[in-house]
Amino acid sequence: MQTSVQAWKYARGSINFHNAPVYEYVKSDRDAQDFSPLLECLRLESTQAYTWSVTNLTNSYLPRDQVTHAERETIFLRGLETTVMFDRMESTLPHKIALMHTRGAPTASGGNSYLSINGDEAVRVSTLAPTVPNFAVVDEQRANGAHRLELHTAGNGELECFLSVAQARGKDEADLTIMLTPYAGCWMLTLVHPAKGSARIFLNRGRTSVGGSVAVSATPTPPTMAGPSVTNFRAGANLRVWGN
């Protein structure tokens, strides 16, 4: 872990690097008045239990020939008040960074986790990939007490991935129990809370999302899942969802 302003040179002056993937010496297309033509929604599903989206961010970076692929997969589990973030970042540039802003200073919270407390609320960010993450905590020296938690890659590959879980909770509430199980070409992510229930998620580990599965339970006993699948997938002009 390091405390520095290292990544700020990558994102300085950008209008959209708030909680986003960042590439070394690459900025966002800050002159674009409307980012919607630069972003492509690949997957979108919303249910009473969760929302799931996959967005291709590649064309929002300049110069565009430096970033060959940028994709963010996000799953928000309503009952657990938890967001799963999976960033796939491909570039010939060595350093890739995922950012998260908080009001309170993040502090180490066991394993690969950081906890930020703001009043009676807290957010705990746990990183599962890479397995040995490199964190940096940056005090942005603003009046509102903003800090930035940075997750850095080792810079050894063109395609690198970040998988993190952000749990929002009361500052005195229990942490999630988080387990990641590898399968051929995918991960099974299991989340368990003693009072709020549990969830299981299958995510593929490829360059781009090809779907997956999610199941939620109101009890701490995780739901049973046979494996990753996408059923009744349909796509419209403006909306793409998994059907029932």
Taking residues 57-75, report their average pLDDT: 83
What integer is the mean pLDDT of 84-102? Answer: 84
Which among 230, 238, 193 has a CA at the least distance from the CA of 214?
Answer: 230
The number of CA neighbours under 13 Å toward the Cβ of 91 is 29
DSSP codes, 94-150: S-EEEEEEESSPPEE-STTEEEEEETTEEEEEEEEESSS-EEEEEE---TT--EEEE
What 3-state class would DSSP assign to 64? helix
Domains and CATH numbers, the chain: 8-26+35-173 (2.70.98.70)
Q: How much is the average pLDDT of 224-229?
A: 69
Question: For residue 180, which phi and psi values (nearest 5 degrees)?
Answer: -120, 125
What is the pLDDT at residue 27?
57
Range 16-24 average pLDDT: 64
Q: Give the pLDDT confidence of 183-205 residue by residue, as tens digits.
A: 888 899 999 999 999 999 999 88
70-79, 207-216, 217-226: least confidently modelled range:
207-216
| pLDDT at residue 11 tops 90 | no
Please give the full DSSP string across 164-222, using - where no structure is assigned. EEEEEEETTSPPPEEEEEEETTEEEEEEEETTTEEEEEEEE-SSS---EEEEEESSSSP
Q: Compute the Cα dihedral for 43, 56, 126, 158 and give only its sign.
A: positive
Which are the contacts of 157, defined by CB distance < 8 A and separation ≥ 6?
none
- Rounded Cα distance, 185 and 162, in Å: 16
pLDDT tens-digit profile of 130-184? Answer: 888 888 898 887 767 788 898 887 665 678 889 999 999 999 999 999 999 988 8
Find out whether 21 and 98 touch, Cβ atoms under 8 Å. Answer: yes
What is d(CA 216, CA 214) in angstroms, rounded to the nearest whole number?
A: 7
pTM of the model: 0.83
Cβ(145)–Cβ(134) under 8 Å?
no
Listed range (14-28, 56-70, 113-127) with the worst mean pLDDT:
14-28
| Gap between the Cα atoms of 196 and 81, Å rounded | 9
| Confidence band of 232 (pLDDT split at 50, 70, 90) | very low
